[in-house]
Amino acid sequence: MEALYLFILVILLLLVGVPIAVSLGLSSILFLLVYSDSSLASVAQTLFSAFEGHYTLLAIPFFILASSFMSTGGVAKRIIRFSIACVGHFHGGLAIAGVFACMMFAALSGSSPATVVAIGSIVIAAMRKVGYSKDFAAGVICNAGTLGILIPPSIVMVVYAAATDVSVGRMFLAGVIPGLLAGTMLMVAIYFYARYKGMPKGEWAGWTEVLGAARAASWGLFLVVIILGGIYGGYFTPTEAAAVASVYAFIVSMYIYRDMGPLKGTAGGAPLSLAKHPQALFTAWFHKDTRQTLFD
């Protein structure tokens, strides 16, 4: 009967809008206070004991933070521009570019939901604008977003590695080829389906646009080198790589792309110069955009 009360309490907290993590934790604490002789100190001790030997799990919030900075700080839209420049001239090019962008963003964030939100919020609207159906546009991005489970640094792989006590680095390495194959097969399937259905294709923008888009996206894509190169080069553990990734994403978003923070220009205006506003080196850490990203 006590277990039923615990279950009902969790459901009630969820129904009133309490976040899932808080609902689970608060209901457990209230249950212990009412039905157990254990003190709250034992709850804290159990929590720290559960993390003992599983410090790899600390990589998860850092990867999520890095993906938040990248999606808010303009990395996603530059990756999309590079993808369209590369494959947008094929039949179904915008859909193929969406898959390509999802693959690259998944290699930065490790999160399928973050990939769908960051890429889908831009690509789906663009696909609808040029004549793709709503169902097809949403289906392409949702399928491509799941590649984040396979392509390292996958958060799911971090959880699995911690639960089964296997190497996170080996898990990441095992996901590279399957992730690339799955993404390539999806792009090929979209191409043939688009030719069959006569879907629109874009114009070849030329190598100048490809190189320009690659240069613009290079700061964000270099994060893949930092994460995987750092892990397999023996410079970082997966947890340290995630922490470095979050700091790097913050620096790129604030001081290089300047799509958020104190150096962000006004609507339609150019971003501000760091040389003329050196105080941004300090104020960026406490800016409202930084706080909002942390809260989200």
pLDDT digits (tens, 9 = 90+) for 183-193: 999 999 999 98
**Long-range pairs for 168-171: beta carbons < 8 A, 24 or more residues apart:** 168/56, 168/59, 168/231, 168/238, 169/231, 169/232, 169/238
* 104 and 72 inside one domain: yes
Residue 296 lies in a domain: no
Note down the domain range covering 9: 2-52
- Residue 267 is predicted with a pLDDT of 64
- Residue 153 is predicted with a pLDDT of 83
Residue 265 lies in a domain: no
Q: Is the peptide bond before 262 cis (omega within 30 degrees of 0)?
A: no
- Residue 204 is predicted with a pLDDT of 82
- Residue 148 is predicted with a pLDDT of 84
* 101 and 34 inside one domain: no
Residue 292 lies in a domain: no
- Residue 188 is predicted with a pLDDT of 92
* 42 and 183 inside one domain: no
Q: Which DSSP category does 57 fall into?
A: G
- Residue 49 is predicted with a pLDDT of 67
* 108 and 215 inside one domain: yes
* 97 and 22 inside one domain: no
- Using 70 as the pLDDT threshold, list the residues of the chain that sit under it: 1-2, 37-44, 46-54, 265-269, 296
Residue 96 lies in a domain: yes
- Residue 181 is predicted with a pLDDT of 92
- Residue 47 is predicted with a pLDDT of 66
* 95 and 188 inside one domain: yes
- Residue 53 is predicted with a pLDDT of 60
